[in-house]
């Protein structure tokens, strides 16, 4: 492969802005979009603030351009600033957004979700993924009058106290007293746990496949989801699928549909509005009245602009058959990366669904080699991350993929040279 | 987050991490040598606390080490309970010594002033911290205490054990500047602190730019998040190891904080 050598980026303006941020914001940039949770390793290989985004690219404060494979950690599904979505949002904004009573555009979107998502008989809207996972668990508890929730080890369902652990600050033992867990893909363990706690388990909550951090992502084994469905039915347990991350990228009818079952509750966020702020819980008829009975609402939950943006997003995803496109682009990209790595004597493992591929250089178990490779990619304009699955968007072209593989190849060369 | 601490865990932290730091104090603090010069013959200090495995420290003119070699004078400190040991380490209670005359002299002439000296370095005054040499030793001792305490809390405390259960096997390096590389060894969800020089690469590393940063973070004067943000601290390698060690470090703060 012929590679044009690139000049590593520098980030003076980002650093200056971060100094300002640290004075007025705890940790400067708290959470997953900051240097600590974002695992910026080494810290000086990464910019801290963006200034502009378009399509599959964003630019940092110093003007460096990135091909972005994190897509804002998921929301960017059609391309930043998609003209069709933005136009729909502008039209709605010219009419109204946050008003005393809602717009019927909310009903339009709910109808579209019920038509599109196979297991959905209704939709309830909120703002963040965590709003919907919390709502799902409350619904399951209210419907079953039971306390316990079964998780899959390595889970992430947001940051509400019930999703955290005993060793996390600010979380009480009481918050997590009813949490149980089983390993991924382990029907035997789930069966044993449900037997042991017969009549006590309100819900089983899981992502459609194991897209955890720091580990190769794992797809469901054949028969796994059918088995989970059967066990939940046998034990009267509400099956919650957390599709916040994978939703709209694997199957527009829902990731439960993709893997051949119907969940009782399905949590959506991220890609639902191409960056316009929205989340939705969809569910089966049998849970409609329970959800209606809960006290659960928020100041911005019925804002109209995101509903309009979401309708445009989902309509566009259907027109493009985006899941098929992501599968094909993701496969092309990851096989190109794996091949480029092997050209330098390195073993790159790509796992999970191609639309949300996870990467790991398997040549050392500390991931230090992998972290160096990711850092060399980032400072040359390809935004990968060392610890999290990636995301594709529909603005990505085959030309972008070729350029990505060129830069990745250069980075592999640097890492292989020691 | 557990809001309560366990006196038996604190007793282990005090025995192994706080009093364990006498070994480093003996090596590093200039004031320690004249005190150790008073040791007329190798002396072992045995700490006996109901419900906590006994632990010994061996003192001789050249220094302090954990354990016994055999043939030393033995001084035993009997404590009624873990809480009694903890009160003794805080200077709020007296142990029941079992010792001959020479042993009693060792306690008053050597052990008590060394323990006071350790306290001065671990809880330094503003004035003491102005002296760069003092500050460096103070930070180094704080680091040793904190990392040794991580191992105790990881193995004995309920919250610590949960964090440790998520740490895969391998070595975790705690680096300070170019020269200090302390190791925690993780094996089957158990951590051991190894103060001997590192001989193989760590699987994950938590690095402090210098002893000042380490001292500030470990004493709670600066936040680890801010320091990673400004580059004065860094992490690399298998980050879940670091993430869980820092959760244990937070828990150590519950035991050792004021
Ligand atoms: C699987 C999963 N569930 C829930 C959430 C929480 O979503 P949010 O951050 O929008 O609250 C996330 C976010 O990354 C997620 O990936």
Per residue in B210-258, pLDDT (tens digit) is 998 998 888 777 878 778 888 899 999 999 999 999 999 989 999 998 6
Closest chain B residue to A166 measured between Cα atoms?
B1
CA-nearest residue for atom 7, ligand 1, is A129
- Structure confidence at residue A2 (pLDDT): 47
Pick from B1, B201, B238: which is nearest to A170 by CB? Answer: B1
Q: Which of A37, A167, A170, A362 has the most B C-beta neighbours within 10 Å, making it the best mutation to test the interface with B? A: A167
Q: Indicate the SS3 state at residue B175.
A: strand
Q: Chain A contacts of B162, Cβ < 8 Å?
A: 165-167
Distance from the alpha carbon of residue A125 to the mean position of ligand 1, in angstroms: 15
Taking an 8 Å cut-off on Cβ atoms, the answer to whether A27 and B248 are in contact is no
CA distance B163 to chain A (A): 7
- Provide the terminal-to-terminal Cα distance of chain A, rounded to the nearest Å: 20
Is B45 within 8 Å of chain A by CB? Answer: no
Show the low-confidence residues of chain A (pLDDT under 70).
1-4
Q: Name the phi and psi angles at B91, rounded to 5.
A: 80, 15
d(CA A119, CA A288): 13
Q: Chain A contacts of B203, Cβ < 8 Å?
A: 365-366
Taking an 8 Å cut-off on Cβ atoms, the answer to whether B238 and A18 are in contact is no
Is A166 within 8 Å of chain B by CB? Answer: yes
Pick from B204, B229, B235: which is nearest to A28 by CB? Answer: B229
How many contacts does A have with B, using Cβ atoms within 8 A? 80
Pick from A26, A172, A366: which is nearest to B238 by CB? Answer: A366
Q: Chain B contacts of A169, Cβ < 8 Å?
A: 1, 250
- Residue A58 beta carbon below 6 angstroms from any ligand 1 atom: no
Judge whether B142 and B219 are in contact, CB under 8 Å: yes
Distance from the alpha carbon of residue A356 to the mean position of ligand 1, in angstroms: 14
Taking an 8 Å cut-off on Cβ atoms, the answer to whether B250 and A171 are in contact is no
Taking an 8 Å cut-off on Cβ atoms, the answer to whether B228 and A22 are in contact is no
- Residue A269 beta carbon below 6 angstroms from any ligand 1 atom: yes
Which ligand 1 atom is at minimum distance from the Cα of A163?
Answer: 4
Of B48, B45, B47, B46, the residue nearest B60 (C-alpha): B45
Is A367 within 8 Å of chain B by CB? Answer: yes
Of A52, A57, A54, the residue nearest A68 (C-alpha): A57
- Predicted ipTM of the assembly: 0.93
Distance from the alpha carbon of residue A273 to the mean position of ligand 1, in angstroms: 15
Of A189, A295, A296, A281, the residue nearest A238 (C-alpha): A281
pLDDT tens per residue, range B64-80:
999 999 999 999 999 99
- Residue A133 beta carbon below 6 angstroms from any ligand 1 atom: yes
Which ligand 1 atom is at minimum distance from the Cα of A73?
Answer: 14
Closest chain A residue to B166 measured between Cα atoms?
A154
pLDDT tens per residue, range A155-198:
999 999 999 999 999 999 999 999 999 999 999 999 999 999 99
Q: Which of A15, A36, A168, A176 has the most B C-beta neighbours within 10 Å, making it the best mutation to test the interface with B? A: A36
d(CA A162, CA A182): 17
Domains plus CATH for chain A?
12-80+322-417 (3.90.1150.10), 83-320 (3.40.640.10)
Is B235 within 8 Å of chain A by CB? Answer: yes
pLDDT tens per residue, range B102-139:
999 999 999 999 999 999 999 999 999 999 999 999 99
Pick from B2, B159, B231: which is nearest to A44 by CB? Answer: B231
Distance from the alpha carbon of residue B11 to the mean position of ligand 1, in angstroms: 41
Q: Chain B contacts of A36, Cβ < 8 Å?
A: 225, 228-229
CA-nearest residue for atom 13, ligand 1, is A158
- Provide the terminal-to-terminal Cα distance of chain B, rounded to the nearest Å: 18
Taking an 8 Å cut-off on Cβ atoms, the answer to whether B170 and A365 are in contact is yes
Taking an 8 Å cut-off on Cβ atoms, the answer to whether A214 and B240 are in contact is yes
- Residue A158 beta carbon below 6 angstroms from any ligand 1 atom: yes
Judge whether A55 and A81 are in contact, CB under 8 Å: yes
Is B220 within 8 Å of chain A by CB? Answer: no
Judge whether A361 and A370 are in contact, CB under 8 Å: yes
The count of other CB atoms within 10 Å of the CB of residue A151 is 20
Listed in sequence order, the residues at least 6 apart from A196 whose beta carbon sits closer than 8 Å to its beta carbon are none
Pick from A29, A41, A172: which is nearest to B1 by CB? Answer: A172
Listed in sequence order, the residues at least 6 apart from A299 whose beta carbon sits closer than 8 Å to its beta carbon are A98
Is A44 within 8 Å of chain B by CB? Answer: yes
Helices (H) and strands (E) in chain B, counts: 12, 10
Distance from the alpha carbon of residue B96 to the mean position of ligand 1, in angstroms: 57
Distances (CA, A) of A128 to A113, A261, A291, B225: 17, 25, 17, 25
Secondary structure letter of residue B178 according to DSSP: T
pLDDT tens per residue, range B172-202:
999 999 989 999 999 999 999 998 888 889 9
d(CA A371, CA B185): 22
Judge whether A238 and A264 are in contact, CB under 8 Å: yes
Domains plus CATH for chain B?
7-122 (3.30.1050.10), 160-256 (3.30.1050.10)
- Structure confidence at residue B32 (pLDDT): 98
């Amino acid at each position: 492969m012929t590679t044009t050598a690139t000049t590593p980026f520098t980030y003076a303006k980002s650093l200056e802005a971060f100094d300002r941020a640290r004075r007025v914001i705890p940790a400067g940039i708290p959470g997953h979009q900051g240097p600590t949770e974002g695992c910026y390793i080494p810290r000086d290989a990464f910019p801290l603030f963006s200034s502009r985004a378009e399509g599959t690219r964003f630019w940092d404060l110093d003007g460096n351009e990135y091909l972005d494979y994190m897509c804002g950690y998921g929301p960017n599904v059609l391309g930043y600033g998609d003209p069709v979505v933005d136009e729909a949002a502008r039209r709605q904004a010219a009419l109204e957004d946050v008003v005393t009573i809602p717009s019927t555009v909310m009903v339009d979107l709910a109808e579209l979700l019920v038509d599109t998502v196979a297991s959905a008989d209704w939709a309830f809207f909120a703002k963040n993924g965590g709003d919907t996972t919390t709502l799902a668990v409350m619904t399951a508890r209210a419907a079953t009058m039971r306390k316990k929730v079964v998780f899959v080890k390595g889970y992430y369902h947001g940051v509400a106290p019930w999703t955290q652990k005993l060793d996390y600050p600010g979380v009480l033992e009481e918050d997590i007293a009813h949490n149980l867990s089983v390993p991924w893909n382990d029907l035997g363990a789930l069966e044993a746990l449900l037997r042991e706690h017969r009549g006590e388990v309100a819900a089983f909550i899981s992502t459609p496949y194991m897209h955890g951090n720091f580990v190769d992502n794992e797809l469901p084994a054949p028969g796994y989801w059918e088995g989970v469905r059967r066990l939940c039915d046998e034990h009267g347990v509400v099956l919650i699928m957390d599709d916040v991350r994978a939703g709209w990228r694997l199957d527009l009818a829902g990731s439960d549909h993709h893997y051949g079952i119907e969940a009782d509750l399905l949590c959506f966020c991220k890609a639902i509005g191409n960056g316009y702020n929205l989340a939705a819980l969809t569910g089966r008829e049998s849970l409609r009245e329970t959800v209606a009975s809960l006290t659960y609402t928020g100041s911005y939950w019925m804002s109209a602009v995101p509903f309009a943006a979401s309708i445009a997003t989902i309509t566009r995803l259907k027109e493009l058959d985006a899941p098929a496109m992501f599968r094909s682009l993701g496969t092309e990209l990851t096989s190109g990366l794996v091949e480029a790595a092997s050209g330098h004597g390195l073993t790159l493992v790509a796992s999970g669904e191609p639309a949300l591929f996870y990467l790991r250089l398997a040549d050392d178990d500390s991931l230090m080699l992998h972290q160096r490779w990711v850092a060399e990619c980032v400072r040359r304009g390809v935004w990968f991350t060392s610890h999290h699955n990636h995301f594709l968007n529909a603005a990505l072209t085959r030309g972008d993929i070729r350029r990505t593989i060129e830069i990745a190849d250069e980075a592999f060369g640097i890492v292989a040279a020691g | 987050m557990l809001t309560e601490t366990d006196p038996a865990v604190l007793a282990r932290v005090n025995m192994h991490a706080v009093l364990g730091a006498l070994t480093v104090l003996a090596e590093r603090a200039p004031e320690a040598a004249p005190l150790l010069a008073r040791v007329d013959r190798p002396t072992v200090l045995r700490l006996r606390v109901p419900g906590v495995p006994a632990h010994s420290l061996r003192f001789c003119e050249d220094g302090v080490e954990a354990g016994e070699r055999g043939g030393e004078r033995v001084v035993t400190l009997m404590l009624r309970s873990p809480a009694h040991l903890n009160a003794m380490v805080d200077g709020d209670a007296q142990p029941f010594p079992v010792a001959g005359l020479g042993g009693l002299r060792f306690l008053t002439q050597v052990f008590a002033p060394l323990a006071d000296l350790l306290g001065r370095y671990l809880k330094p005054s503003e004035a003491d911290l102005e002296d760069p040499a003092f500050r460096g030793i103070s930070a180094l001792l704080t680091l040793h205490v904190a990392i040794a305490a991580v191992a105790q809390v990881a193995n004995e405390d309920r919250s610590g054990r949960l964090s440790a259960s998520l740490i895969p096997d391998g070595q975790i390096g705690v680096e300070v500047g170019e020269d200090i590389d302390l190791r925690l060894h993780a094996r089957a969800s158990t951590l051991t602190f190894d103060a001997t020089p590192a001989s193989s690469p760590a699987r994950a590393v938590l690095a402090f730019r210098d002893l000042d940063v380490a001292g500030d973070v470990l004493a709670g004067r600066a936040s680890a998040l801010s320091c990673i943000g400004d580059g004065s601290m860094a992490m690399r390698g298998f980050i879940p190891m670091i993430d869980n060690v820092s959760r244990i470090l937070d828990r150590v703060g519950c035991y050792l904080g004021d």
